[in-house]
Amino acid sequence: MSRQYNVGLVGVGAVGAEMIKVLKDRGFPCGKVQVFASRERDEVINGETYHVLKADENSFGGLDIVLFAGKTDVAIQLKDAVVKAGAKMIDNSRAFRQDPDVPLVVPQVNAEDLDWNKGVIANPNCTTAIMLEAVAPLHRAKKLKRLIASTYQAASGAGAPGLAELEEQMKEMVEDRPLSVKAFQHQLTYNLIPHIDKFDETNWYTLEELKMRNEARKMLHAPDLMVSCTSVRVPIPRAHSESLNLEFEEDVTPEEAREILSKAEGVKVVDDPLNGGYPMPLDATSKYDVLAGRIRQDISRNDKKGLDMFVSGDQLLRGAALNAVEIAEHLVKRGLV
Residues marked active site are found at 126, 240
Give burial (CB, 10 Å; 0-12/13-18/19+) of 292: buried
Give the residues across from 136 on adjacent strands: none
Give the chain's length: 337
CA 255 to chain centroid: 28
> CA 165 → CA 14, 29, 176, 246, distances in Å?
15, 37, 16, 35
Alpha-carbon gap, residue 76 to 323, rounded angstroms = 20
Query: Amino acid identity of 56?
Result: D
Query: Amino acid identity of 110?
Result: N
Alpha-carbon gap, residue 154 to 232, rounded angstroms = 9
Alpha-carbon gap, residue 64 to 55, rounded angstroms = 16
Element (H, E) at 233: strand 226-233
Phi/psi-derived region of residue 46, left when phi > 0, alpha when psi is between -120 and 50, beta in every other case: left
Phi/psi-derived region of residue 176, left when phi > 0, alpha when psi is between -120 and 50, beta in every other case: left
Indicate the pairing of strand 5-10 with strand 65-68. Answer: parallel
Closest CA to 248 of 238, 260, 236: 260
Judge whether 278 and 194 are in contact, CB under 8 Å: no
Q: Count other C-beta atoms under 10 Å from residue 130's C-beta.
A: 31
Judge whether 309 and 248 are in contact, CB under 8 Å: no
